[in-house]
A and B are shown apart, each in its own frame.
Chain A
Amino acid sequence: MARIQLENVTKKFGKVTALDGISLDIKDKEFFVLFGPAGAGKTTILNCIAGIQLPEEGVVKFDGEIVNLVDAAHRDTAMVFENYALYPQMTVYDNMASPLRSKLYKKDEDYIKNKIHEVAAMMKMENLLERLPSQLSNGQKQRVAMGRALVRSPRVYLMDEPLAHLDAKLRNAMRTELKEIQANFGTTSIYVTHDFMEAMSLGDRIAIINEGKVVQLGTGDAIYYMPCNEFVAQLMGDPEINLISGTLAKSGDSCTFTMDAGGKVYDLPKEKDLFAKLDELGASKVDLGMRPQNLTYSFEPKEGYIKCTVYSYESIGNKSVIVAELSGLQLRMIAPNGLKVKIDQDVYVDMQLDHAMFFDAETKNYLTRYNEAAIKAFAEKQEG
Chain B
Amino acid sequence: MAGLRIEHLYKRYENDGKKKKNAAKNDYAVKDLNLVAEQGEFIALLGPSGCGKTTTLRMTAGLEDITKGEIYIGDTLVNNLHPKDRHIGLAFEDYAMYPPLTVYDNIAFNLKAKGVDKAEIDKRVREIAPLMQCDDLLDKMPVKLSGGQKQRVNIARAIIRRPELLLMDEPLSHLDGKARQAMRTEIKRLINEIKCTTIYVTHDQLEAMSLADKIAIINFGVLQQYGTPAEVYDDPVNEFVASFIGEPPMNILETTIMGEGDHFFFTFADSNLKIEVPKRYYNVVSNGFKCKMGVRPMDVLIGAADSKGTPEEVATFENLGDERRIGIHVGSFLLMLITDDEKRYKAGDIIKLEVRGEKTHLFDLETGNRIREK
Please choose the segment from B14-22, B58-66, B228-236, B362-370 that sits at the chain A interface, where 4 or more of its residues have CB less than 8 A away. B228-236
Given A173-B248, A201-B319, verify A293-B340 contact (CB < 8 Å): yes
Task: Among A224, A293, A314, A320, point to the contact of B185 (Cβ < 8 A).
Answer: A314
Q: Is B162's beta carbon under 8 Å from chain A?
A: no
CB distance from B212 to the nearest CB of A (A): 10
Contacts of B320 in A (CB 8 A): 197, 200-201
Q: Is A272's beta carbon under 8 Å from chain B?
A: no
List B249-307 residues whose CB lies under 8 Å from chain A.
249, 296-298
Given A173-B248, A293-B340, verify A315-B206 contact (CB < 8 Å): yes
Contacts of B319 in A (CB 8 A): 200-201, 220-221
Q: Is A290's beta carbon under 8 Å from chain B?
A: no
Pairwise interchain contact A318-B297, C-beta atoms closer than 8 A: yes
Pairwise interchain contact B327-A180, C-beta atoms closer than 8 A: yes
Given A169-B249, A337-B230, verify A293-B297 contact (CB < 8 Å): no
Given A169-B249, A343-B188, verify A237-B327 contact (CB < 8 Å): no
Pairwise interchain contact A338-B234, C-beta atoms closer than 8 A: yes
Q: Is B90's beta carbon under 8 Å from chain A?
A: no
Pairwise interchain contact B248-A172, C-beta atoms closer than 8 A: yes
- Give Cα A292–Cα B204 distance, bound, in whole angstroms: 24
Pairwise interchain contact B248-A318, C-beta atoms closer than 8 A: yes
Chain A interface size range: 35 or more
Contacts of B296 in A (CB 8 A): 318
Pairwise interchain contact B325-A176, C-beta atoms closer than 8 A: yes
- Give Cα A172–Cα B321 distance, bound, in whole angstroms: 15
Task: Among A179, A183, A311, point to the contact of B318 (Cβ < 8 A).
Answer: A179
Chain B residue with the shortest CB-CB distance to A201:
B318
Digit string of B333-363 for contact with A (CB within 8 Å is 1, else 0)? Answer: 0101010100010010000000000000000
Contacts of A179 in B (CB 8 A): 316-318, 327
Pairwise interchain contact A318-B298, C-beta atoms closer than 8 A: yes
Q: Is B68's beta carbon under 8 Å from chain A?
A: no
Digit string of B180-217 for contact with A (CB within 8 Å is 1, else 0)? Answer: 00001100110010000000000010100111000000
Contacts of B247 in A (CB 8 A): 168-169, 172, 317-318
Q: Is B117's beta carbon under 8 Å from chain A?
A: no
Chain A residue with the shortest CB-CB distance to B203:
A167
Pairwise interchain contact A180-B316, C-beta atoms closer than 8 A: yes
Chain B residues with a Cβ closer than 8 Å to the other chain, count: 38
Contacts of A316 in B (CB 8 A): 206, 210
Contacts of B336 in A (CB 8 A): 176
The majority secondary structure among interface residues of chain A is: mixed
Contacts of A75 in B (CB 8 A): none
Pairwise interchain contact A314-B210, C-beta atoms closer than 8 A: yes
Q: Is A175's beta carbon under 8 Å from chain B?
A: yes
- Give Cα A312–Cα B230 distance, bound, in whole angstroms: 17
Contacts of B211 in A (CB 8 A): 314
List A206-234 residues whose CB lies under 8 Å from chain B.
220-221, 224
Pairwise interchain contact B189-A337, C-beta atoms closer than 8 A: no
Q: Is B175's beta carbon under 8 Å from chain A?
A: no
Q: Is A144's beta carbon under 8 Å from chain B?
A: no
Q: Is B322's beta carbon under 8 Å from chain A?
A: yes
Chain B residue with the shortest CB-CB distance to A196:
B321
Q: Is B78's beta carbon under 8 Å from chain A?
A: no
List A159-211 residues whose CB lies under 8 Å from chain B.
167-169, 172-173, 175-176, 179-180, 183, 196-197, 200-201
Task: Among B188, B297, B298, point to the contact of A314 (Cβ < 8 A).
Answer: B188
Q: Is A236's beta carbon under 8 Å from chain B?
A: yes
- Give Cα A292–Cα B315 distance, bound, in whole angstroms: 29
Task: Among B178, B188, B321, B338, point to the contact of A200 (Cβ < 8 A).
Answer: B321
- Give Cα A225–Cα B340 distance, bound, in whole angstroms: 15
Pairwise interchain contact B321-A176, C-beta atoms closer than 8 A: no
Interface centre among A167, A221, A236, A315 (most CB of B within 10 A): A315
CB distance from A239 to the nearest CB of B (A): 8
Pairwise interchain contact B318-A291, C-beta atoms closer than 8 A: no
Pairwise interchain contact B204-A315, C-beta atoms closer than 8 A: no
- Give Cα A291–Cα B340 distance, bound, in whole angstroms: 13
Q: Is A335's beta carbon under 8 Å from chain B?
A: no
Given A312-B189, A337-B233, verify A175-B246 contact (CB < 8 Å): no
Contacts of A323 in B (CB 8 A): 185
Pairwise interchain contact A343-B318, C-beta atoms closer than 8 A: no
Pairwise interchain contact A343-B249, C-beta atoms closer than 8 A: no
- Give Cα A310–Cα B347 distance, bound, in whole angstroms: 41
Contacts of A292 in B (CB 8 A): 322
Chain B residue with the shortest CB-CB distance to A240:
B178
- Give Cα A167–Cα B317 distance, bound, in whole angstroms: 22
CB distance from B29 to the nearest CB of A (A): 21
Digit string of A68-81 for contact with B (CB within 8 Å is 1, else 0)? Answer: 00000000000000
Pairwise interchain contact B184-A314, C-beta atoms closer than 8 A: yes
- Give Cα A236–Cα B210 distance, bound, in whole angstroms: 22
Given A315-B229, A318-B298, A343-B189, verify A175-B318 contact (CB < 8 Å): yes
- Give Cα A179–Cα B206 distance, bound, in whole angstroms: 24
Contacts of B229 in A (CB 8 A): 315, 337-338
Pairwise interchain contact B321-A237, C-beta atoms closer than 8 A: yes
Q: Is A238's beta carbon under 8 Å from chain B?
A: yes
Binding site for B on A (CB under 8 A): 167-169, 172-173, 175-176, 179-180, 183, 196-197, 200-201, 220-221, 224, 236-238, 240, 291-293, 311-312, 314-320, 323, 334, 337-338, 343
**Given A317-B246, A319-B298, 4 additional A-B pairs, CB 8 A:** A167-B204, A196-B321, A311-B189, A338-B234
10 shortest interchain CB distances as A-B pairs: A314-B210, A317-B247, A201-B318, A338-B230, A315-B209, A224-B321, A312-B185, A315-B210, A180-B316, A179-B316
